[in-house]
Amino acid sequence: MSTEFIASRFVLAVRNLRLSTDFYMNVLGFVRDFGDESDGWSFLSRGNVRLMLGECVDEVPASELNNHSYFAYMNVVGVDALYEEIVANGG
């Protein structure tokens, strides 16, 4: 029997959950899988990419961490069309 990973979920700490959820949905094209942010979480997806945004209002902003925590690699079919979509959405 072989093992296959079929999806992954990234957990991201955000300082403003409503603003971050809006950005991921309206600019980057993610959809809400479930939840209404009332518990401090947004569960979003786009294709096989899953995100759990957790509100951490006192967290140090990523821009001030001075490390290399980031999404290292994602395969995207139609990256030029994705770019155009994000630009059209204000990104």
Q: Which residue type does 32 have?
A: R
Checking if the pLDDT of 72 tops 60, the result is no
Q: Binning pLDDT at 50, 70 and 90, where does residue 32 land?
A: very high
% residues pLDDT > 90 (the chain): 45
The model's pLDDT over 2-16, given as tens digits with 9 standing for 90+, comes to 667 777 788 988 999
Q: Parallel, antiparallel, or unpaired for β 49-55 and 41-46?
A: antiparallel
Taking only Cα atoms into account, the Rg of the chain, rounded to an integer number of angstroms, comes to 15
Q: What's the pLDDT band for 63 if we cut at 50, 70, 90? A: confident
Nearest to 86 by CA among 78, 17, 18: 78
Question: Which tokens go with 48?
Answer: 């096989």
The DSSP output letter for 62 is G
| Mean predicted confidence (pLDDT) in 38-63 | 90
Q: Whole-number mean pLDDT of the chain?
A: 86
